[in-house]
Copies of this chain bind each other. A is one copy, B any other.
Amino acid sequence: MVEDYSVAYDAVMSEEIPQARLFTAAALTEGAAVEPNPGQAHYLLHVMRLGNGAGVVLFNGSDGDWLTRIEDANKKTCRLAVMSQLRPQISEPDLWLAFAPLKKARTDFIIEKATELGVARLLPVFTEHTNTERVKSERLAGIAIEAAEQCDRLSVPEVADAVKLSILIENWPASRWLLVPDETGGGPPLVDVVAELGNTKTTMSAGFLIGPEGGFSAAELDALGKLPFVRRIGLGPRILRAETAALAVVSCWQALIGDWTSSPRFNNGYVFNARR
């Protein structure tokens, strides 16, 4: 995977491969033509100032990266002729991140960083101490798309509709660990828990749950503690802000058993994105 990346990176950095990279819902095959949406057309034609013949990379989360060329450009629209595949689709860790929404900038930050760090699914969740009452999942999905475009990721994480914690728990798959940073410092170290889970022979995947700035309520902690798929984890002696904890746990997961390793140990938790 690292080698794939290296090749792709070199290609993108070379002059032949365009800097503009966009996500599309369209199928990508040689000879296809894709119509960028109005925002994308504006970006290509007026922000990047590209014209007919200029290259643009497209990805759709299942067909890999494709080189396309601008055709029929006018002031407001253009068409992208799909030329050749630059990178095949690769599998990605199936890691979920549930989080209590924070103030706007810090929520946006979680979405951007979690996308860069390879989270497969983002689940905003309302808790007793969550101050935010509304979450625009569509706006968050837009941030995820932009981050995926920029970081050369071949898929875009799904942003689920925000639900109450009780609903999240009710619908949480029994075959997926739910790892909850314990801000009282009582949980075993993250690295120990991940090693333990990585060594079990069960086929469980995993997700993290990050509480709000005010922490979980006693009732919430009680409810979480009773679930067989919940594991508390410790993140050291300092009290991390929610968004710091979110990034930290995802980074560590990728480094320890995710796609930052040369041979991911948590294979059972992997999904192949193609045609999902």
Contacts and interface: CB of A to CB of B under 8 A. Distances in A.
B248 A234 contact: no
A20 interface: no
Given A113-B244, A251-B252, A260 B236 contact: yes
A240 B118 CA distance: 10
A10 interface: yes
A214 to B, nearest CB: 11
A118 B238 contact: yes
Nearest to A252: B255
Interface stretch (A74-82, A162-170, A187-195): A187-195
A175 interface: no
Given A237-B1, A239-B152, A251 B254 contact: no
B236 A186 contact: no
A222 interface: no
Contacts of A116: 238, 240-241, 244
B236 A258 contact: yes
A130 B192 CA distance: 38
B189 A237 contact: no
A95 interface: no
A109 B247 CA distance: 13
Interface in A253-272: 254-256, 258-262
A265 B125 CA distance: 36
A260 B113 contact: no
A172 interface: no
Given A5-B185, A117-B248, A244-B247, A190 B239 contact: no
A231 interface: no
Contact of A185 (B9, B183, B248): B9
A6 interface: yes
Given A184-B9, A247-B244, A189 B260 contact: yes
Interface string A85-96: 000001000000
A151 interface: yes
A254 B244 CA distance: 13
B9 A239 contact: yes
Interface string A105-124: 00001000100111000000
Contact of A261 (B9, B90, B191, B254): B191
A248 B141 CA distance: 23
A69 interface: no
Interface of A: 1-6, 9-10, 90, 109, 113, 116-118, 150-153, 183-186, 188-192, 234-241, 244, 247-249, 251-252, 254-256, 258-262
